[in-house]
Amino acid sequence: METSSMYGQVLEGTVTDLNKTEAFVQIEGVTFALDLSELEDLPELGDEIAGFVYETQNHKNKITTVMPNIMPGIWDFAEVKDTRSDLGVFVDVGLAEKDVVVSLDDLPLEHSEWPKKGDSVMVKLDVDHKGRLWGKLADLNLYMQIARSASDEEKNRDEECTVIAIRDSGTFVLTESYYLGFIHTNEQDGPLRIGQHVKARVIGSSHRRLNLSMRPRAFEEITPDAEMIMAVLEHARDGKIPYTDKSDPDDIKEYFGISKGSFKRALGNLMKQRKIEQRDGYTYLKK
C-alpha cells in the first residue's frame, strides 16, 4: 500500500522503536511517529497500536490515538486559523502539527466574504487521490437537514449565530440552538462573511426557519442627544447632573443646546435602557 493512500484512515500497526518522546509504529512497512504524551503507559516493542494516520505540515508521518474532531463523513465546526488568497482557509480539526485547508473552490468568489481567523466553519474531512487532507465546507442543504423546525414562539429572543451562506437577498445563519435563520440585507448592520459569529434577534419565522434582525430594538437605539447626555454624565463629578425632565427649558437649552422636548426624549430613551435614573432633582448615571 502506498503511504499516501493510508492518510486519513484509522489503522493498526506494530511498535518497532521508542525514544524519550515518541513511539514508532510500523504499518505495512511504513513508519509513523506517535507522541508518548498521548499514552498512559509506556508501550513495549511489538505492541499493537491503532490510530489516525496523517502527514504533518512538515511532511512527517504521524499516527495519533486522539481522534480528530472531524473525520470523513463526520461534520463539525472547526476554527479558522489562517487564510491564503491563492489556496483557501486553514482550519483546526484537532490534529497536532496539522491544519486542514478548505479550498477556495468551496469559498465565495468575493474574498471579503471568506472566513477570518477565529471564525468557525462546518466541515468534514476529504482525502484526495494523493492522500492530502481537505476540509469540505458544508452546504445549505446539509444545514436544512440538521436544523430544528422553527416557530413564532421564539419571537423577540436574542440568538448567537454563525454565518453559513450569503445570498444577494440576505444571509443564512445557524443559531447556537441549531435553528436555521435568515437575515435580510435590510436587517443587517453591515457586510457579513462565512463563519462570522453574530448576534441577532428573532422577528418571525417562515419555511421552518427563523427570520432574524441585527438592527437594535427601537428602545435600544441611542440617539445623538442621548449619547451627548451619557458623555456629560460620564465626566460629571459623582456621575450626576442637576437636570431632569422637570428642568426649565431655557436652562436645558443653555447647557445642552437642545430643546426640552429633545432632552426628555433622550432621557426617556436612556431610562428605558436602565442607563440612568432621576431622583431629588438630579439625573444619575447608573452603575
Can you give the CATH number for the domain in which 193 is found? Answer: 2.40.50.140
Domain membership of residue 70 (yes or no) is no
- Domain identity same for 111 and 156: no
pLDDT at 219 over 60: no
Domain membership of residue 71 (yes or no) is no
Of the ranges 17-26, 145-154, 179-188, which one carries the lowest mean pLDDT score?
Answer: 145-154
Domain membership of residue 231 (yes or no) is yes
Q: What is the CATH number of the domain that holds 225?
A: 1.10.10.10
Number of domains making up the chain = 4
pLDDT for position 216: 77
Q: Could you tell me what percent of the chain has a pLDDT over 70?
A: 98
187 grid coordinates? 436587517
pLDDT at 1 over 70: no
Final residue in a domain of this structure, among 138, 159, 179: 138
- Domain identity same for 98 and 155: no
DSSP string, the chain: --GGGGTTSEEEEEEEEE-SSEEEEEETTEEEEEEGGG-SS---TT-EEEEEEEE-TTS-EEEESS--S-BTTB-EEEEEEEEETTTEEEEEEEETTEEEEEEGGGS-SSGGGS--TT-EEEEEEEE-TT--EEEEEPPHHHHHHHSBPP-GGGTT-EEEEEEEEEETTEEEEEETTSBEEEEEGGG-SS---TT-EEEEEEEEEETTEEEEE-SPPGGGPPPHHHHHHHHHHHHSGGGEES--TTS-HHHHHHHHSS-HHHHHHHHHHHHHTTSEEEETTEEEE--
91 grid coordinates? 482550519
Domain membership of residue 16 (yes or no) is yes
Q: Could you tell me what percent of the chain has a pLDDT over 90?
A: 81
Compute the distance between CA of residue 120 and CA of residue 123 in angstroms, rounded to an integer. Answer: 9
Domain membership of residue 203 (yes or no) is yes
Boundaries of domain holding 228: 221-285
Q: What is the identity of the amino acid at 127?
A: V
pLDDT for position 221: 66
143 grid coordinates? 444545514
pLDDT for position 273: 83
Compute the distance between CA of residue 187 and CA of residue 171 in angstroms, rounded to an integer. Answer: 10
Domain membership of residue 182 (yes or no) is yes
Q: Write the pLDDT tens digit of every residue in 69-97.
A: 999 989 999 999 999 999 999 999 999 99
Q: Write the pLDDT tens digit of every residue in 27-48.
A: 999 999 999 999 999 999 999 9
Final residue in a domain of this structure, among 171, 192, 213: 213
> pLDDT averaged over the chain?
93
